[in-house]
Amino acid sequence: MINRQDHLLIAGLGIQFAVIMCIGSFGGYYLDKKLGTLPVFILTGSALAFALALYIMVRSAKAYVDKEQKK
């Protein structure tokens, strides 16, 4: 049964994912504008941010499943 705590965890993961993607994308855009290498750092920052966000989501999901199995 999914309770309120679980909903908050899922919402928090979504917000974390969005914030990490924004930081990676805007950080890459800033570097590209500063260095004049337009698509390079946007793509790199976005890809690294996506990988990091996905890693955090998988790690959180694994921790949640482990916690539920101990109940």
Mean pLDDT for 41-70 is 94
Name the band, by pLDDT with cuts 50, 70 and 90, for residue 1.
Answer: low
Give the global pTM.
Answer: 0.86
Six token digits for residue 38: 């337009």
28-40 per-position pLDDT tens digit: 999 999 999 999 9
5-49 per-position pLDDT tens digit: 888 988 999 999 999 999 999 999 999 999 999 999 999 999 999
